[in-house]
Chain A
Amino acid sequence: MISLGSALLGHLLLVQAAGSMPSVRSAGICAMVEKRMELARSAPSPKLLIIGGSGVSNGISAGSMSESLGVPVQNFGLQAGTGTGFMLDRAKSVLRKGDIAMLAFEYHLYNTKRPSDVALDVAMNCGRDFLARQPLQSRIRDALSLPYSALFSRLRYAIMGNPHNEPAITAHGDIIFQSPRSHMGNSDIERIRRYKPMEIALNPDSPDVNEIRKFIGWAKQADVIVLATWPNTLAFSEYNKAEGFKAIERFYTELGVPMIGRPADAMVGIGLLDDTQYHLNAAGVATRTVKLSAALAGRPDVTEKLRSPEH
């Protein structure tokens, strides 16, 4: 019992002492989060804020959309690992009355059971206000579950600093591609060719789904319009029969959120992928953006709202 108590106390002290320091991973993500928040805050309103993980960051060009639709559009693609709760919390602080929030969350976020390690790692660095608003039980769980890899990573950062270069982004929050070609080598392409379709499903009890639900409720109060669209992913013929898409669409429809486009609009072949199933290369981003812009152009009710500053 003494050793258990000592271990618990030691762990909590360690978390308290090291928690506020950045880790190698959280430093990179937080820098990007803060940069995008700053850009979104300074963007004119009403604006269209495209919210999601790296699938948005590395998959949609807000600049091109802004140009083609003639309305202000910001890329607010953060990191799916941080969870919908954190991403939407950051989005709330930059959304203003009359803005439109378009949700484009990665498929796995509709079926999570627990926040990921990344979520806690990042929130402890640049989301302490977000953590402080969580229920006590959740904060205890977080403190007890913080992986030691995150603590070691903080030590590494303190000694070595951030080894990664931050990617350059435009005023719309889009990543500036260093090379228009894919980062995938032949062996990666060979692997991805053999991939199986993902399980597309919606778990209504998922903590991430619950955060989306809460955000939509908040948006109604704050006079922010919410739209949803499909995340980029590798195309499989099996998806034609998958029921999960309908479940996701039903979820949003029941909450009064229109879905923009069809799942197939966001599905691409291997040639348009950058490195993962959610990340697109420059050609992929262009293709996806054209389709999304076209789907939005077909919704004049939405684009008109963005063009009327008095809203």
Chain B
Amino acid sequence: MLFNSNIFLFIYLPIVLTGFYVLRSRTNVPWAMAWLAASSLFFYGYWDLRFLPLLLFSILGNYTLSHFIRPGKSRALFVAAISFNLLLLAFFKYANFFIDNVEELTGAAVPLRQIVLPVGISFFTFTQIAFLVDRWRGDTAQPGLVNYGLFVTFFPHLIAGPILHHREMMSQFETMQARSRWDISAFNTGLCLLAVGLIKKVVIADSLGSFASPLFDRAAGGESLEAVLAWSAALGYHLQIYFDFSAYCEMAMGLALMFGIRFPVNFDSPYQARSIIDFWRRWHMTLSRFLRDYLYIPLGGNRSGPVRRMVNLMIVMLLGGLWHGAAWTFVLWGGLHGLYLMINHGWNRLGLRLPWPWLGLLLTNLAVIIAWVTFRAENFPTALSIYRSMALMNGTALPLEARHLLEFLGLSGQIGYFAENSRAAFYIGLAWIGGAGVLALFGRSTLRLFPGQSIATDQAELERRWKARDQETADLGRVLGGMRGLTASAGAAVAIGLVLFWSIRVINSAPHSEFLYFQF
């Protein structure tokens, strides 16, 4: 069940919301929480009923094991519990990849095949590993089964994150028991976030995807793209994944808020970052937090000297890449980001500074675009073909429509031309890239449209960051940031209704489209 589907928006969500609020007001909170957990299991089972037992097995297995883990003791049990999660993930996500590589290396045929990836397994496994680690560290008490189950399965985050930390969720579940009034303000803000996320997904991200995907497919089919097309494909995907993931994160936050539950922020205008270090503080923030707390720091972090720090960074990014998908292209993507981070840290260590702040923005985006090509390409040869085209190694032809301009400039004899079969679609795609690029580079984060409202678990930290950023970058981020107090006026309420209506029309006129992060 997709967030951007009729069945979710018109049937599932209204029923779950009604049931939750009726149960919370008429009976008591535990029943409401149980309803929410059961609804979330239904949501998961609706994807593929075969994997519901796996999710339940994972939850019950981890919950039972966590009962017996004593802080600082029962090391063997703790190791067994972590291994249990890693083995599940390894089997369902990486077995095919492993077998493919064994076959490639040895030439032998391994009979085991057709292991289907259960949706969301990377997310619910990481969420529970963090819980187990903290349980062993003594940082958390044992919750009740219903609250634990809801923490893992709560449908807004179950499929594609954010990767929640039990501390920030359990406290909310427990606080909710003392609260009985309906938080209308949070509900309205949640609805706004849902509406904005829907528009971002179905209008912007999907339009960019329908432009970029055929270009990547053509490269995968062996066509050497013209440089203009290769850059268009790379930029199209750069912006598609931005708006797709941003949309998902906002919809997840919005949906949770409609139940009065706050999530941590997962996405904070990452293409406005002026360095790769900054980029990773803004992109998939809960994954960065998980990798920092449960991998980078245990590996030694920056405590063992600069060389070890670089090695640790590279390990974290390579594993982060592999987490996204069982393919060497993802590993390379992680490796590229590891390399970028190493260069960035080295640069900072030398105390160097760029002469103009916008150059940092440009270089960061360029580095990210280059890495996304590998991330999106089906395989290395496809990525290599696109890189060759981007590097002008497959010619420098321009669209036929540029001929008159080049003739006017006296350059027509030096440059070739190409024609896209569907001229209108090509130029509409370029227009989407231009518009979406301006929004990504200069638009203010949607989360800042609700001043004075608590919408995230890490609100205070974020506001501190935003304030510091505003002082530092007065030229950026404010160009399109004039919309304040969005939920405060009646006009805004009408606008949100119309935005939802627009989204519903687009949902019904386009093919179903999953969020890109669902495949991870």
A interface residue numbers (CB < 8 A to B):
1-8, 11, 113-114, 117, 137, 140-141, 144-145, 147, 190-196, 198-199, 277
Bound-complex Cα distance A150 to B417 (A): 35
On whether the beta carbons of B217 and A194 are closer than 8 Å, the reply is: no
Name the residue on A nearest B499 (C-beta).
A4
Bound-complex Cα distance A6 to B500 (A): 12
Min CB gap B438→A, angstroms: 26
On whether the beta carbons of B497 and A194 are closer than 8 Å, the reply is: no
On whether the beta carbons of A3 and B421 are closer than 8 Å, the reply is: no
Please give, as numbers and ranges, the residues of chain B lying within 8 Å of A195 by CB-CB distance. Answer: 419, 421
Bound-complex Cα distance A198 to B223 (A): 12
On whether the beta carbons of A196 and B493 are closer than 8 Å, the reply is: no
On whether the beta carbons of B511 and A1 are closer than 8 Å, the reply is: no
On whether the beta carbons of B494 and A114 are closer than 8 Å, the reply is: no
Q: Which of A3, A144, A191 has the most CB of B within 10 A?
A: A3
Stretch at the interface among B47-55, B174-182, B502-510: B502-510
Please classify the interface of chain B as helix (H, G, I), strand (E, B), loop, or mixed, using the class held by over half of its residues. Answer: helix
Min CB gap A152→B, angstroms: 15
Min CB gap B492→A, angstroms: 10
State which of A140, A147, A194 has its C-beta within 8 Å of the C-beta of B417: A194
On whether the beta carbons of B501 and A1 are closer than 8 Å, the reply is: no
Please give, as numbers and ranges, the residues of chain B lying within 8 Å of A198 by CB-CB distance. Answer: 421
Please give, as numbers and ranges, the residues of chain A lying within 8 Å of B223 by CB-CB distance. Answer: 196
The answer to whether B221 has its CB under 8 Å from any CB of chain A is: yes
Q: Which of A140, A145, A193 has the most CB of B within 10 A?
A: A145
Bound-complex Cα distance A127 to B498 (A): 31
Bound-complex Cα distance A192 to B218 (A): 18
Bound-complex Cα distance A1 to B195 (A): 11
State which of B221, B400, B500, B505 has its C-beta within 8 Å of the C-beta of A190: B400
Bound-complex Cα distance A192 to B418 (A): 10
State which of B218, B501, B511 has its C-beta within 8 Å of the C-beta of A8: B501
Please give, as numbers and ranges, the residues of chain A lying within 8 Å of B493 by CB-CB distance. Answer: 2-3
Q: Which of B6, B419, B421 has the most CB of A within 10 A?
A: B421
State which of A8, A140, A147, A196 has its C-beta within 8 Å of the C-beta of B421: A196
Name the residue on A nearest B497 (C-beta).
A3
Give me 27 A-to-B residue pairs in the complex whose CB atoms sit less than 8 angstroms apart, sorted by A's number.
A2-B497, A3-B493, A3-B498, A3-B501, A4-B497, A4-B500, A4-B501, A7-B501, A8-B501, A114-B509, A140-B6, A140-B508, A144-B504, A144-B508, A145-B508, A145-B509, A190-B419, A191-B400, A194-B400, A194-B418, A194-B419, A196-B218, A196-B420, A196-B421, A198-B421, A199-B214, A199-B218
Min CB gap B340→A, angstroms: 34
Interface bin, chain B: 20 to 34
Given contacts A194-B400, A196-B223, A198-B421, contact A144 B505 (CB under 8 A): yes
Min CB gap B72→A, angstroms: 52
Min CB gap B420→A, angstroms: 8
Closest 7 A-B residue pairs measured CB to CB?
A: A3-B497, A145-B509, A194-B419, A113-B511, A4-B497, A7-B501, A144-B508
Q: Which of A6, A192, A194 has the most CB of B within 10 A?
A: A194
On whether the beta carbons of A199 and B417 are closer than 8 Å, the reply is: no
Residues facing A in B390-439 (CB within 8 A) are 400, 417-421, 423
Please give, as numbers and ranges, the residues of chain B lying within 8 Å of A6 by CB-CB distance. Answer: 497
The answer to whether B496 has its CB under 8 Å from any CB of chain A is: yes
Please give, as numbers and ranges, the residues of chain A lying within 8 Å of B500 by CB-CB distance. Answer: 4
Q: A4-B501, A5-B497 are known; give 9 further A-B pairs, CB within 8 A.
A: A8-B501, A11-B501, A114-B509, A144-B505, A144-B508, A191-B423, A192-B419, A195-B421, A196-B218
Min CB gap B189→A, angstroms: 14
State which of B6, B421, B498, B509 has its C-beta within 8 Å of the C-beta of A7: B498
Given contacts A147-B509, A198-B421, contact A3 B218 (CB under 8 A): no
Name the residue on B nearest A145 (C-beta).
B509
Name the residue on B nearest A117 (C-beta).
B509
Min CB gap A236→B, angstroms: 11
Min CB gap B230→A, angstroms: 14
On whether the beta carbons of A7 and B417 are closer than 8 Å, the reply is: no
Residues facing A in B473-504 (CB within 8 A) are 493-498, 500-501, 504
Bound-complex Cα distance A308 to B140 (A): 85
Please give, as numbers and ranges, the residues of chain A lying within 8 Å of B217 by CB-CB distance. Answer: 199
Name the residue on A nearest B225 (C-beta).
A196
Min CB gap B404→A, angstroms: 11
Min CB gap A193→B, angstroms: 8
Min CB gap A277→B, angstroms: 8
Please give, as numbers and ranges, the residues of chain B lying within 8 Å of A196 by CB-CB distance. Answer: 218, 223, 420-421
Please give, as numbers and ranges, the residues of chain B lying within 8 Å of A5 by CB-CB distance. Answer: 497
Name the residue on B nearest A5 (C-beta).
B497
Bound-complex Cα distance A7 to B511 (A): 22
Bound-complex Cα distance A198 to B495 (A): 41
State which of B417, B419, B510 has its C-beta within 8 Å of the C-beta of A114: B510
Please give, as numbers and ranges, the residues of chain A lying within 8 Å of B498 by CB-CB distance. Answer: 3-4, 7
Min CB gap B4→A, angstroms: 13
Name the residue on A nearest B416 (C-beta).
A194
Bound-complex Cα distance A3 to B493 (A): 8
Name the residue on A nearest B506 (C-beta).
A145
Please give, as numbers and ranges, the residues of chain B lying within 8 Å of A147 by CB-CB distance. Answer: 509
Please give, as numbers and ranges, the residues of chain A lying within 8 Å of B505 by CB-CB distance. Answer: 11, 144-145
Complex interface bits, B283-304 against A, C-beta within 8 A gives 1, otherwise 0:
0000000000000000000000
Given contacts A194-B417, A194-B418, contact A199 B221 (CB under 8 A): yes
Please give, as numbers and ranges, the residues of chain A lying within 8 Å of B510 by CB-CB distance. Answer: 114
Please give, as numbers and ranges, the residues of chain A lying within 8 Å of B508 by CB-CB distance. Answer: 140-141, 144-145
Bound-complex Cα distance A171 to B508 (A): 40
Complex interface bits, B206-221 against A, C-beta within 8 A gives 1, otherwise 0:
0000000010011001
Name the residue on B nearest A10 (C-beta).
B501
Complex interface bits, B176-216 against A, C-beta within 8 A gives 1, otherwise 0:
00000000000000000000000000000000000000100
Bound-complex Cα distance A145 to B218 (A): 30
Please give, as numbers and ranges, the residues of chain A lying within 8 Å of B420 by CB-CB distance. Answer: 196
Name the residue on A nearest B188 (C-beta).
A1
Min CB gap B456→A, angstroms: 24
Please give, as numbers and ranges, the residues of chain B lying within 8 Å of A277 by CB-CB distance. Answer: 421
On whether the beta carbons of A114 and B511 are closer than 8 Å, the reply is: yes
Bound-complex Cα distance A191 to B419 (A): 6
Bound-complex Cα distance A1 to B223 (A): 49
Bound-complex Cα distance A1 to B217 (A): 41
